[in-house]
């Protein structure tokens, strides 16, 4: 087991990865510049150490070290231990979960490389809410979605809040960001994929019309509010909707995704 190191000074450079975790713009610059992301909480950290991602370090309170010691000790990364007030001073807020880890971001991959062996994928257009993104990845893992594609304007799935809300499943479901848009959707359709736009539009088919046995299929989901852009809708092969009671025009995107993924799973 890696020998823990006590941190008593919040300005200690060894814990620079964890400074000001609530400053979203600072974190974007720091994390993308250094090629790092932050995982928070005991469950997420346990998932992290069993994932393909390389851990740079851990920062835990003494109480969490006692619970996580066996799991993180074999990761081969430095383990920094700090009292709760010191940890909070480093992070800029009260980390009541008592454990964070810094891990290396993966190199960008070609989205099409994720299609090998996958017959169900989710494609996300312009999702900007990190909690919705994390919940959607959790749903994707639960219902066997093989990969997730992100449009260029989607939020970062490895932002701390997304990773936490996903319960670490964002570390298990392969994802890639498209560099152009929406051309990759058109290309999928030409390659024989059923590219399904999920939309509340009244002229869309009910989701029950989707043949669950047909493969491969991609479900395209847009941000709450604006929904899918007309160019994205035009690039899809068909449009499906989730029937709802009168007076309700839409669902939370993670909820809509869960219903669609469950339908594809045969539920």
Domain containing residue 162: CATH number: 3.40.1280.10
Total domain count, the chain: 2
Q: Which of 23-27, 49-53, 73-77 has the lowest mean pLDDT?
A: 23-27
pLDDT score of 36 more than 70: yes
Domain co-membership, 44 together with 135: no
pLDDT tens per residue, range 200-241? 988 999 999 988 777 899 999 998 777 899 999 999 999 999
Q: How many CB atoms lie within 10 A of CB 126?
A: 21
Q: Are residues 52 and 136 in the same domain?
A: no
Mark which of 56, 81, 104 sits at the end of a domain.
Answer: 104
Query: What percentage of residues in the chain have a pLDDT greater than 70?
Result: 99
Residue ending a domain, choose from 84, 104, 124 = 104
- Domain termination site, one of 56, 72, 104: 104
- What's the whole-model pTM score? 0.94
* Domain with 171 in it: 111-264
Dihedral sign, Cα of residue 137, residue 255, residue 38, residue 62? negative
Q: Are residues 209 and 233 in the same domain?
A: yes
- Confidence check: pLDDT of 1 > 80: no
């Amino acid at each position: 087991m890696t020998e823990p190191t006590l941190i008593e000074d919040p300005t200690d450079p060894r814990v620079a990865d964890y400074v000001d975790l609530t400053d979203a713009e600072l974190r974007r610059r720091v994390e993308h510049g250094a090629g790092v992301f932050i995982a928070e909480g005991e469950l997420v950290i346990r998932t992290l150490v069993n994932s393909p991602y390389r851990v740079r370090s851990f920062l835990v309170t003494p109480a969490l070290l006692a619970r996580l010691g066996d799991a993180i000790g074999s990761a081969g990364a430095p383990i920094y231990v700090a009292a709760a007030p010191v940890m909070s001073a480093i992070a800029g807020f009260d980390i009541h979960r008592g454990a964070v880890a810094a891990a290396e971001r993966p190199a960008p991959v070609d989205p099409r490389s994720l299609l090998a062996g996958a017959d169900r994928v989710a494609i996300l257009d312009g999702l900007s809410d990190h909690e919705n993104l994390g919940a959607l990845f959790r749903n994707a893992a639960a219902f066997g979605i093989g990969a997730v594609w992100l449009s260029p304007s989607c939020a970062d799935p490895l932002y701390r809040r997304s990773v936490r809300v996903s319960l670490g499943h964002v570390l298990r479901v392969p994802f890639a960001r498209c560099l152009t848009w929406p051309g990759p959707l058109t290309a999928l359709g030409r390659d024989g994929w059923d590219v399904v736009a999920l939309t509340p539009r009244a002229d869309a088919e009910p989701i029950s019309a989707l043949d669950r046995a047909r493969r491969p299929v991609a479900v395209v989901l847009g941000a709450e509010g604006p929904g899918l852009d007309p160019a994205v809708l035009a690039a899809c092969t068909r449009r499906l909707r989730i029937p709802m009671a009168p007076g309700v025009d839409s669902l939370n995107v993670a909820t809509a995704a869960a219903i669609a993924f469950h339908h594809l799973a045969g539920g």
